[in-house]
């Protein structure tokens, strides 16, 4: 007989007794990287895997028997989930949703959750399952990328200002007090710019490259990171012996394919294990700094040799990544972002949805109202798309009146839903030309890939879907 105080008292209709069921669940989810929690009918936790105790920062015994209300940042969210998802009458379909959670130490995080009821053989038996993935790092990375874009696209900032702003951004994101941009001159490491609270690292300071952690960046030919250096194989490195830097992350800075320096951040205190997202982000910082350095040297060449003005101007145009009319990324930026998203999706086994969006009857709009009206319509769509899509999504002008959308970690149905909202906003837009309201619409073709194919193959499917949307009457979405 199971006593009322037993956390598995409501599991009598399951094919195990309470203790056996707890053992089965614990072993079933033990090796999952996501946090898994199981609660009884009163929403008290009866099982937590190791990932859950790590994520919520509780001892295992401190979670068992605790009300799941303690894990929500807001009690209103707990009550709302009870009404809609975690109750006896809720449907059996487990759908993902986003929630703000609170850890045992009081900190909060954003989590993507799949959860709902698990029913036994009779209606009386019910438990609740929640699988939670921490999205805080991804959302923080998205914000850092947006801040990086704002820095590098600010026309009022010069190269040195951008370089300093990128250093400050990296120090904030990685939680490191020290940030350095270096120049590599043969076997010499020369500090070009630095943030150092102690003031010991200043521009012009020179070290042998082998006495810095950046020698590992050069050896890796890409981003490199180490945490708790004193406990690692580089504990005997001259940089650790001299500065006792426990955490370090850095990336190369290149010019015309040749490494000319490094961007790196470090701390005398361990800041925690670095993720692949961190390595990707510092690599992106280094690439942007490479672009900035390239642009700065091109501008210097313009002033130094007037005869090469046109050639240098062409180079600047080639490396430009923004569409002047809409302010969105241009085709060059989209191609680079596309390749990164495919590689990231392949590495993380996540879906990537891609959409091609094309204005309906755009030539008719230009012929009747003039090209200025057409340009205004393109800018309006770009503004609405930026406001409607997620921060992780990318949109740019693919050419003419056609736009490309990259929706990482997004299934086809979710992509279609996002596009439907965007199309509806455009239909309802108050777009006027010479006092006359002009209706606007677009057609879209969307496809989803498991990132095991080329960008060209994905684009071809999206283009075929767009053609069907046009053939079926326009102002609609077709998928492939």
Domain holding 143: CATH number?
3.30.450.40
Query: Is 326 within a domain?
Result: no
Domain count, the chain: 3
pLDDT at 2: 32
Query: Is 320 within a domain?
Result: no
**Beta carbons within 10 angstroms of residue 432's beta carbon:** 11
Nearest residue to 66 (alpha-carbon basis) of 50, 76, 53: 53
400 and 433 housed in the same domain:
yes
48 and 174 housed in the same domain:
no
35 and 124 housed in the same domain:
yes
221 and 356 housed in the same domain:
no
> At 166, is the pLDDT very low, low, confident or very high (cuts 50, 70, 90)?
very high
Q: Check residues 38 and 10 and name the one with the higher pLDDT.
A: 38
Report the half-sphere exposure of 302 (CA within 13 A, side-chain side). Answer: 14
212 and 353 housed in the same domain:
no
Query: Is 231 within a domain?
Result: yes
**Beta carbons within 10 angstroms of residue 459's beta carbon:** 17
Q: Fill in the DSSP letter of residue 69.
A: G
Percent of the chain with pLDDT over 90: 61
Distance of CA 468 to the CA centre of its chain: 31
Average pLDDT, the chain: 87
Query: At residue 264, what are phi and psi to the nearest 5 degrees?
Result: -150, 155
Rounded-to-integer distance, Cα 359 and Cα 475, Å: 9
Query: Is 364 within a domain?
Result: yes
Nearest residue to 112 (alpha-carbon basis) of 93, 129, 95: 95
**Which of 103, 134, 165 is at the close of a domain?**
134
142 and 112 housed in the same domain:
no
pLDDT at 6: 44
State the Cα angle at 65 between 59 and 70, rounded to 5°.
75
Q: What residues make up the domain containing 210?
A: 138-309
Strand order in the sheet with 206-208: 206-208, 188-195, 178-185, 258-267, 247-255, 224-226
274 and 355 housed in the same domain:
no
151 and 279 housed in the same domain:
yes
pLDDT at 271: 86
Rounded-to-integer distance, Cα 297 and Cα 280, Å: 26
Query: Is 13 within a domain?
Result: no
> For the segment 309-326, what is each residue's pLDDT rounded down to a tens digit?
566 565 666 557 788 899
Two tokens, residue 237: 């490195």
Between β-strands 436-437 and 432-433, what pairing exists: parallel, antiparallel or unpaired?
A: antiparallel
Rounded-to-integer distance, Cα 400 and Cα 397, Å: 8
351 and 463 housed in the same domain:
yes
Query: Is 4 within a domain?
Result: no
Nearest residue to 405 (alpha-carbon basis) of 344, 472, 329, 457: 329
Overall average pLDDT of the 399-421 stretch: 94
196 and 102 housed in the same domain:
no
Rounded-to-integer distance, Cα 329 and Cα 382, Å: 10
149 and 279 housed in the same domain:
yes
CATH number at residue 113: 3.30.450.20
**Which of 109, 134, 159 is at the close of a domain?**
134
Query: Is 12 within a domain?
Result: no
> For the segment 412-450, what is each residue's pLDDT rounded down to a tens digit?
999 999 999 999 999 999 999 999 999 999 999 999 999
149 and 114 housed in the same domain:
no
Rounded-to-integer distance, Cα 202 and Cα 180, Å: 9
> For the segment 346-364, what is each residue's pLDDT rounded down to a tens digit?
999 999 999 999 999 999 9
**Beta carbons within 10 angstroms of residue 158's beta carbon:** 13
Query: Is 318 within a domain?
Result: no
* pLDDT over 70 at 123, yes or no: no
Three-state DSSP at 449 gives strand
* pLDDT over 70 at 81, yes or no: yes
CATH number at residue 404: 3.30.70.270
């Amino acid at each position: 007989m199971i006593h009322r105080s037993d956390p598995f008292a409501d599991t009598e209709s399951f094919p195990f007794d309470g203790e056996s069921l707890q053992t089965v669940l614990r072993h079933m989810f033990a090796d999952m990287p996501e946090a898994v929690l199981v609660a009884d009918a009163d929403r008290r936790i009866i099982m937590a895997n190791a990932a859950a105790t790590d994520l919520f920062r509780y001892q295992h015994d401190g979670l068992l028997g605790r009300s799941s209300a303690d894990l929500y940042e807001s009690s209103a969210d707990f009550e709302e989930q009870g009404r809609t998802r975690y109750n006896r009458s809720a449907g059996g379909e487990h759908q993902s949703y986003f929630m703000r959670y609170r850890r045992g130490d009081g900190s909060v995080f954003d989590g993507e959750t799949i959860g709902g009821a698990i029913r036994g053989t009779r209606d009386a038996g019910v438990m609740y399952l929640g699988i939670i993935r921490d999205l805080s790092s991804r959302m923080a990375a998205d914000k850092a990328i947006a801040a990086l874009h704002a820095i590098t696209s600010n026309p009022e900032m010069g190269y040195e200002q951008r370089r300093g702003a990128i250093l400050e951004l990296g120090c904030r994101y990685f939680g490191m007090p020290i940030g350095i941009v270096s120049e590599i001159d043969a076997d010499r490491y020369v500090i070009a710019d630095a943030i150092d609270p102690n003031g010991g690292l200043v521009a012009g300071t020179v070290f042998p490259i082998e006495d810095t952690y950046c020698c590992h960046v050069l050896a890796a030919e890409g981003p490199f990171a180490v945490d708790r250096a004193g406990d690692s194989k580089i504990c005997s490195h001259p940089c650790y012996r001299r500065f006792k830097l426990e955490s370090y992350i850095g990336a190369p800075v290149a010019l015309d394919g040749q490494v000319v320096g490094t961007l790196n951040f470090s701390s005398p205190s361990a800041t925690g294990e670095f993720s692949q997202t961190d390595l990707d982000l510092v690599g992106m910082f280094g690439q942007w700094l490479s672009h900035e350095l390239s642009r700065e040297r091109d501008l210097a060449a313009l002033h130094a040799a007037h005869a090469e003005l046109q050639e240098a101007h062409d180079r600047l145009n080639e490396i430009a990544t923004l569409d002047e009319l809409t302010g969105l990324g241009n085709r060059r930026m989209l191609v680079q972002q596309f390749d990164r998203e495919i590689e990231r999706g392949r590495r993380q086994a996540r879906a990537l949805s891609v959409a091609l969006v094309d204005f309906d009857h755009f030539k008719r709009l230009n012929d009747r109202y003039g090209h200025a009206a057409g340009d205004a319509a393109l800018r309006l769509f770009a503004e609405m798309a930026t406001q409607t899509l997620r921060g992780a999504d990318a949109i740019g002008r693919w050419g003419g009146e056609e736009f490309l959308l990259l929706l990482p970690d997004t299934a086809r149905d979710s992509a279609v839903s996002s596009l439907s909202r965007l199309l509806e906003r455009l239909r309802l837009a108050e777009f006027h030309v010479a006092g006359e309201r002009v209706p606007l619409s677009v057609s879209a073709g969307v496809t989803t890939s498991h990132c095991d194919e080329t960008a060209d193959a994905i684009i071809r499917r999206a283009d075929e879907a767009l053609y069907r949307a046009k053939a079926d009457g326009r102002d609609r979405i077709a998928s492939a």
